[in-house]
Amino acid sequence: MDESGSGRGREGVARPTSRDVARRAGVSQATVSLVLRDRWRGRVSPARAEAVRAAARELGHRPNLAARSLRLGRTRTVLVVVPALTNDFFGRVHAGVARVAAEADVGVVLYPSPEGVGSAPDPFASASATLDGVLASSMAVEALAQLSGDGLPLVMLDSEPVEGPAAATVNPDIAEGMRLVTAHLLGLGHRRIAHVAADVDSWTFAVRRDVLRAGLAGAPGARLVAEEHGPVSVAGGLLAAERALAASPRPTALVCDDDTMAAGACKAVRRAGLRVPEDVSVTGFDDLGLATAVEPELTTVRLPAEELGAAGLRALLAVLGGERRGAEVLPVSLVARGSTAPAPA
């Protein structure tokens, strides 16, 4: 039976069909099919796609995955690997994964691997016997070598889009995010900028570093006066920012790799007897809940964390269904708030 046909669940209860979803959303069945198969981009507007997903949720419609030859017949379970469970960003990634998993009737096992760059231990005695696929966020490909070596299909989020064990990658546009930050500060007249960088050897932070350097190198009179590294935490940002502020000449802006580091940088500015943003502007990255909890609120790059998780699981389901998926990039945006202002005279 195909997705458009009617059918009954295991208890003989009528199951909502794509025709029902189309009627509820006010669209064609073809549009429903494109959206539920995650092939709508460029063909269906985001608003209409969301209307279809909302209608499917309201009706309790779940795509007939068997009809799409989805290779989830053994356990219908996927493993989601993240570096941390306490970080707001990964919480939102998981929310997106959970939403799509519920729609597709797929189980999710969440597994933290704090290092993110070293080898992730196999959480099961034999992962390949227990799982159907792996979705990993913000980790080095090498960290998933053991799991992917078991022959499990692997989709990477916020990770280097390279040929290798990953069947697909889904990334926020990290490079564009840092270009937006750089252009914002240059537009405010800042020419002495310091980088409060994450002490993590990963693709996502390397991109931020390289784009910032290139952007400043191409701006007349601009220079990177310091690049100080620290752990991705408030304390790490505080100590790295203190070192950056000691540079001569002193930077007028601190570009931080993460909102938690930016919160620490704001503390460092105040402890130095300076003001944010009158003396030193501070920017973050991610748009965590913390960004609006501090005062002044952080100018930061908003990453679509929940959509990242949702798109990642859709990509994994597509791969399991025999489709070829490459590198998908999701748009980001700059949110200008009170922590940035024109450079001091």
Q: What are the pLDDT digits (tens) for 130-151? A: 678 889 888 766 666 555 555 6
pLDDT band at 159 (very low <50, low <70, confident <90, very high): confident
| pLDDT of 66 strictly over 60 | no
Q: What is the pLDDT of residue 251?
A: 98
Of 33-42, 56-65, 334-343, which gets the smallest average pLDDT? 56-65
Question: What phi and psi values does residue 204 have, to the nearest 5 degrees?
Answer: -60, -40
Measured CA to CA, the distance from residue 73 to residue 234 in angstroms comes to 45
Which tokens in the block code for residue 285?
């990255």
Helix residue spans in 252-329 (DSSP H): 259-271, 305-320
Q: What is the pairing mode between strands 253-256 and 281-283?
A: parallel
Question: If you average pLDDT over each of 46-50, 109-113, 230-234, 324-328, which comes out highest?
Answer: 230-234
Greatest alpha-carbon pair distance for the chain in Å reads 75
Q: Encode 249-258: b = buried (16+ Cβ within 10 Å), e = exposed.
A: ebbbbbbbbb
Residue found under tokens 């959303």:
25
The three-class DSSP label of residue 134 is strand
| pLDDT of 11 strictly over 70 | no
For residues 156 and 138, the answer to whether their CB atoms sit within 8 Å is: no
Q: What is the pLDDT of residue 228?
A: 98
For residues 151 and 176, the answer to whether their CB atoms sit within 8 Å is: no
| pLDDT of 210 strictly over 70 | yes
Residue found under tokens 């981009």:
41
Nearest to 38 by CA among 327, 314, 302: 314
Comparing 219 with 117, which gets the higher pLDDT?
A: 219
Measured CA to CA, the distance from residue 91 to residue 98 in angstroms comes to 10
| pLDDT of 218 strictly over 80 | yes
Q: What is the pLDDT of residue 262?
A: 98
Domains and CATH numbers, the chain: 7-67 (1.10.260.40), 69-171+305-328 (3.40.50.2300), 174-303 (3.40.50.2300)
Q: What is the mean pLDDT of residues 203-214?
A: 96
Provide the percentage of residues in the chain whose pLDDT is more than 90. 51
What's the mean pLDDT when you consider all of the chain?
Answer: 84
Going by the DSSP 8-state scheme, the letter that residue 298 receives in this structure is P
Which tokens in the block code for residue 338?
């009170």
| pLDDT of 211 strictly over 80 | yes
Q: What is the pLDDT of residue 215?
A: 97
Measured CA to CA, the distance from residue 212 to residue 206 in angstroms comes to 10
pTM, full prediction:
0.75
Q: What is the pLDDT of residue 163?
A: 61
pLDDT band at 227 (very low <50, low <70, confident <90, very high): very high
Q: What is the pLDDT of residue 71?
A: 44
Q: What is the mean pLDDT of residues 227-241?
A: 97
